[in-house]
Amino acid sequence: MGKLFGTDGVRGVANRELTPELALRLGRAGAYVLTRETHHAPKVLVAKDTRRSGEMLEAALTAGLCSLGAQVYLAGDMPTPAVAYLIKAYKFDAGVMLSASHNPMPDNGIKFFNSDGQKLSDALEEEIEALVYEIEANDTLPRPEGADIGIVQTCDRAEADYAGFLLSTVPDVKLPADFTIALDCANGATSNIASRVFMLLGATVHTLHNNPDGLNINDNCGSTHMDSLLEFVQEKGADIGLAFDGDGDRMLAVDEKGNMLDGDAVMAICGLSLKNRGALANDTIVGTVMSNQGLDVFCRENDITLVRTDVGDRYVLEKMLADGLTLGGEQSGHVIFRQFADTGDGILTGLQLVAALAASGKPLSELRKIMTDFPQVLVNAQVDTAKKNEFSTHPAVVSAQKEIEEKLAAQQGRILVRPSGTEPLVRVMIEGRDQAQITMWAQDLAQIIRTNLG
């Protein structure tokens, strides 16, 4: 029995692993688990990105939800963070997003949200997963009849209400008409709304990859393929470029000279802006173990604490919630401004970055200099799956890693060795100031791991 839920919902190739039959069972199981405490017909919001398979899966999922008596509200093509916001704004009992985020078009995914607009805990996902398999073998869940069967409605104001929320996060920002923003919408869920939001700030907006046809989402565009935006920014003479991924929960930026800014750089700029305004809770930023060491150095130099979590936005959010923090995220551009939302939101992040840029009075290329990235090397060592977790105890590996750590101290660098969650690999990541040196150390350690654990 395979595991359905990964780190971000259920994903797979649509109509192969992620079939309409599975979507229907997920709808039934999800509706039961998420709304069993309600004493009314549960209201569930459903949205999707622009993949061709979206309508097929939406229909199957909706059928499953209605078969449990849920009232389904279809929001159409919307970013994932819009679902998180609208669930709370409309006081829905749950929500579902159909998207595989930055994955290629043939993939799709199903991601559930609770009534607080947050991703589900591992325990709830496991409960839904167990029910899906139980339904497949013997479906004993309730089956309302007659007037108790769920209905489907269209959520007509979803985009307008979400746009209003986004603009409310930057109430004092009014940009001159000669301030130019270039957008890459990845032919995805931000294709309609992103340009509308930024134009309402007064800026001149140029957009590319905003004509989804069901097949071109993430196709050499968006935050995972930045080349076209780098060129577009220079072609249009833009002050800033913003690239979103297919479902709009990530954003990477480009300065006016065509240089890319990842999530670490965005957090540095926005974090310092928040700190200067007394709005950075506990003067702390939450990153992950993969956040560049340059962010750590930047934080120390500016009296900001950097806290690292495991890779994954859910772990970032857990730490933020536990400690009452307001800013956190990942290199990938998945940044959480918890003053406004409990999930990464590409458009919201872009708005906060533009606000910080406008307030600084500097070009983005100059503002970016507050943080210097350390060179980073990642080398994969293929190992025997059964031995994958022995890297932390094998004497030869431990000794070699300790020796490298001692050498890295002089460079303010660091080393991270961790097993892949899905492949027979141990990943060696080293950051330091000398690219050639850290490359050699990473390759040497990877070879020691292969020799002893392969």
Cα atoms in the Cβ-side hemisphere of radius 13 Å centred on 197: 30
Strands (E) in 5-162, as ranges, are 5-6, 9-13, 43-48, 71-77, 94-98, 107-113, 152-154
Which amino acid, 378? L
Q: Report residue 249 as tokens.
A: 């929960």
- 3-state secondary structure labels for all residues of 29-40: HHHHHHHCCCCC
* Enclosing H/E stretch for 350: helix 346-360
For residues 385 and 393, give the distance between their C-alpha atoms in angstroms, rounded to a whole number. 16
Quick check: is 99 catalytic?
no
Contact 174, 94 (CB under 8 A): no
For residues 105 and 134, give the distance between their C-alpha atoms in angstroms, rounded to a whole number. 30
Q: In whole angstroms, how large is the CA radius of gyration of the chain?
A: 23
The two counts, helices (H) then strands (E), for the chain are 14, 19
Closest CA to 65 of 115, 27, 32, 97: 27
Catalytic residue, chosen from 53, 101, 115, 332, is 101
User: Which residues are marked as active site?
Assistant: 101
